[in-house]
A and B are shown apart, each in its own frame.
Chain A
Amino acid sequence: MSPDATVGIVLVSHSAPLAEGAAELAAQISGGTVTIIPAGGTDDGGLGTSAAKVQRAVKLADSGAGVVIIPDLGSAVLTVRALLAEAGDLPASVELADAPFVEGVVAATVAAAAGGDITAVLAAAEEARHARKL
């Protein structure tokens, strides 16, 4: 890992606008210094998930410090798991976060912006499950 590399984030959603919107929000809150790549929708633009989109997004998000993937629901998780199990053409350090989608990406991105390593960024995403809004 190069000393200045920041952990990248990939958002996997059934909906392209949902992934894009969550990425935009997290970028604003964290100051825009972290690479967040949305991978939403199917290859033809419909609702669903695409392993090819996720694979491209992970490669784009990696700057040497690894990538944390945050899925929305159901088959987004299955798509990422299947992709990671193939362990083909992907960066060495990729983690799938068990986290709420919006809170998870906001917490993960702030942790990455603060210089956290992949373990810290993954933990921040997963701890988001316990955050109360009220």
Chain B
Amino acid sequence: MPASCEQAITLTGDLHARPAGALAVAAATFASAVSLTVGATRADAKSVLGVMGLGATSGQRVTVAADGSDAEEAVATIVAILAEATRVGA
């Protein structure tokens, strides 16, 4: 059953290359299309270069959106990775 889901998170650290990789690997395991939006810039969460190209930094609000059969689970997973990976000192 197709569904849409969206959740925003404020980063507590910069989105570096390694978490971007972990995020893209995780996003690719879902059937849903998953995107990240920061300000006016939107990236495919399954594209590591797209995620890095967002240049998302501490304090910025990132909206995670998914569209597809596993949208809810995809958004929860990606938000959790963003929260963990950008935690100060991570």
Listed in ascending order, the chain A residues whose CB lies under 8 Å from chain B are 25, 28-31, 103, 106-107, 110-111, 113-116, 124, 127-128, 131-134
Task: List, sorted by A's number, 6 A–B pairs whose CB atoms are closer than 8 Å.
Answer: A29-B17, A30-B25, A106-B17, A107-B48, A116-B28, A134-B53
Using known A-B contacts A115-B28, A115-B29, A134-B55, determine if residue A29 contacts B49 with beta carbons closer than 8 Å.
no
Residue of B nearest to A127 (CB): B47
Q: A133's closest neighbor in chain B, by CB?
A: B53
B18 touches which of A28, A131, A133 (Cβ 8 Å): A28
New A-B pairs, 12, CB < 8 Å, besides A114-B28, A131-B53: A25-B17, A28-B18, A28-B21, A31-B22, A31-B25, A103-B49, A106-B21, A111-B28, A113-B21, A127-B47, A128-B49, A134-B55
B53 near A110 with CB under 8 A, answer no
Residues of A within 8 A of B62 (CB): none
Total number of B residues with any Cβ neighbor in A under 8 Å: 17
- Contact A110/B25 with A28-B18, A29-B18 known, Cβ cut-off 8 Å: yes
Interface residues of B in 1-51 (CB under 8 A from A): 17-18, 20-22, 24-25, 28-29, 46-50
Residues of B within 8 A of A134 (CB): 53, 55
Q: What is the CB-to-nearest-CB distance from A79 to chain B, in angstroms, rounded to a whole number?
A: 26
Q: Which residue of B lies closest to A113 (CB)?
A: B25
Q: Which of B21, B49, B53 contacts A30 (CB 8 A)?
A: B21
Residues in B whose Cβ lies below 8 Å from that of A28: 17-18, 21
Chain A residues within 8 Å of B52, by CB: 131, 133
For residue B15, give the distance in angstroms from its CB to the closest CB of chain A: 12
Question: Considering only CB atoms, which chain B residue lies closest to A103 in the complex?
Answer: B49
Contacts A30-B21, A31-B22: A107 and B53 contacting too (C-beta < 8 A)?
no
